Amino acid sequence: MSDDDICDVTITADDADWLAGFVRSLVEDRLAACGNITTAPVRSVYRWEGTIEDALEAQVVLHTRRSLVPEIVQRTDREHPDDVPQVLAVPVVAANPAYHRWVLAETREPTG
């Protein structure tokens, strides 16, 4: 993994306002350069504790450094209201070079 690798991280939550506040805190702490929150609800169908659930959720796509994903996962586990929050990171294989530089400039190097 290179220090220049960026990725997108998706997180869902049933409360769009909570998600917006959480994303703001990640951007303030330079764990993400940007978070694009879907304004229309995402319909999630999944099995949880033996029951098929059908729920409306908000979703964000964060733009960040790949090296910051472990911190984002830990923070989400600590602060998210769900027992097992969705946090999925996917690599960015190509990007506008200027946007790529901006993501790196707006995020910090991982700690520890």
pLDDT of amino acid 82: 95
- The highest-level CATH class for domain 6-106 is alpha beta
Cα–Cα distance, 58 to 44 (Å, whole number)? 10
How many CB atoms are located within 10 Å of the residue 82 CB?
14
Question: Which tens digit of pLDDT belongs to each residue from 5-47?
Answer: 999 999 999 999 999 999 999 999 999 999 999 978 899 999 9
Give the dihedral of Cα atoms 84, 23, 65, 79; nearest 10 deg: -40
- Report domain extents, the chain: 6-106
The tokens for 54 are: 């059908």
pLDDT of amino acid 64: 98
Please say whether the beta carbons of 78 and 22 come within 8 A. Answer: no
Cα–Cα distance, 95 to 28 (Å, whole number)? 23
pLDDT of amino acid 112: 64
- CA–centroid distance for 39 within its chain: 15
